[in-house]
Amino acid sequence: MKDIDRREFLKITGGSIATATGVSSLAILLNMGESYKYRPIYQQSQKIVSMKGGGEDFLLRPPGARGEDNFLSKCIKCYLCVEACPLQAIKIAGREKGGAADTPYIIPEVTGCDLCLTRDNMRCNHICPTDALEKIKNDDIKEVQGKLKLGQEMNMGIAILDKRVCYAWTGVSACWACHEICPYKDKAITVGDKRAAHATNAPTFHAAECVGCGLCVEICPVPQKAVRMVSQGETEILKAVQEATPAEKAESEGTDSKTSFSVEDTESRTISDTINPDDIKLENKEDNKDKEEKEHQPKGGKKGDDSWQPSKQDVMGF
């Protein structure tokens, strides 16, 4: 090997560093807004491995998947849709999924799909090389809904609201985040259901208009999630949430609502005809008698006494 002096060594090293810096800067510039597109293959592999697992039995497929069997027969597990997704919402199913292992799906609890409605095309199905994901033109938001809503082959799933834990329905807070993020709000999700006694903006989900993007699941602030996704094949669940009696429909529209508060319909306890003033005096007299007896009790209390005593308290039981 040819001997080189210190000056020559620094010259070669400095030139290499400058070249590497220039190439890296150019790569970063080209990569702006397109995650992982120009990343080294080993980084892509690490990313794919880290996304294995998760989800339930029902897999929420990317938009354009035409039925589970049809999708599985055409998907070659190339992961191009994973790399193309600008939200990184598409993950890879783990080995525990059996025949669906290594295929793309969405975990809405982590990241929902925005259907690329603000972009020139749907990146995942636009790049799919085998037509496992049918190319959907997203320039017309109504047309996209028509292809993906309940009853259509490419429907991704249906969002179901559990009113028992929903913050708005239980009165925990005035939350309507799912309505605001829904790309088809006022259609797939509406607010103002009068059956919710605690909030005027309680959301109502309409399965017939849902495309299954999962954004409502992602944004739901309830720790155990008040929204879950089901397959449109789960007919019993969908039938239960879609059917409503005439009384329920009228109540939800605000007519004859039994949950609304009206001052005119309330009565003061003190002027109610159902309360006898003499009973109130007797009750107060008995309360005062009990109070006097407790004051004259020994400091330790009587045997079997349930009154508060410091010696009875467990300091670790707070």
Identity of the amino acid at 156:
M
- According to DSSP, the residues that pair with 90 across neighbouring strands are 106
43 or 28: which carries more pLDDT confidence? 28
CA-to-CA distance for 81 and 87, rounded, in angstroms?
Answer: 11
- Predicted local distance difference test score (pLDDT) of residue 97: 85
Per-residue pLDDT of 168-202, as tens digits, reads 998 888 888 999 999 999 999 999 887 877 777 89
CA dihedral in degrees (151, 154, 155, 156; nearest 10)?
160
- Predicted local distance difference test score (pLDDT) of residue 263: 35
Which of the listed CATH numbers 3.30.70.20, 3.40.50.720, 3.40.50.1820, 3.30.470.10 matches domain 156-253?
A: 3.30.70.20
- Predicted local distance difference test score (pLDDT) of residue 3: 60
Per-residue pLDDT of 44-102, as tens digits, reads 444 444 444 333 478 999 999 988 999 999 999 999 999 999 999 999 998 888 889 99
- Alpha-carbon distances of 27 from 43, 44, 81, 82, 259, rounded to whole Å: 15, 15, 21, 20, 60
Listed by start position, the domains of the chain span: 32-139, 156-253
Q: Indicate whether 43 pLDDT > 80.
A: no
- Tell me the H-state helices in 85-165: 123-127, 141-148
Per-residue pLDDT of 102-156, as tens digits, reads 999 999 999 999 999 999 999 999 999 999 999 999 889 999 999 999 999 999 9
- Give the N- to C-terminal CA distance of the chain in Å, as an integer: 77
DSSP E strands: which ranges in the chain?
Answer: 90-92, 104-106, 158-161, 189-191, 203-205, 227-230
Under 8 Å between Cβ of 195 and 255: no
Per-residue pLDDT of 206-247, as tens digits, reads 999 999 999 999 999 999 899 999 998 887 778 777 655 445
Model confidence, pTM? 0.61
CA-to-CA distance for 107 and 181, rounded, in angstroms?
Answer: 17
Confidence of residue 259 (pLDDT cuts 50, 70, 90): very low
Retrieve residue 312's tokens: 């009875």
CA-to-CA distance for 211 and 152, rounded, in angstroms?
Answer: 9
Confidence of residue 160 (pLDDT cuts 50, 70, 90): very high
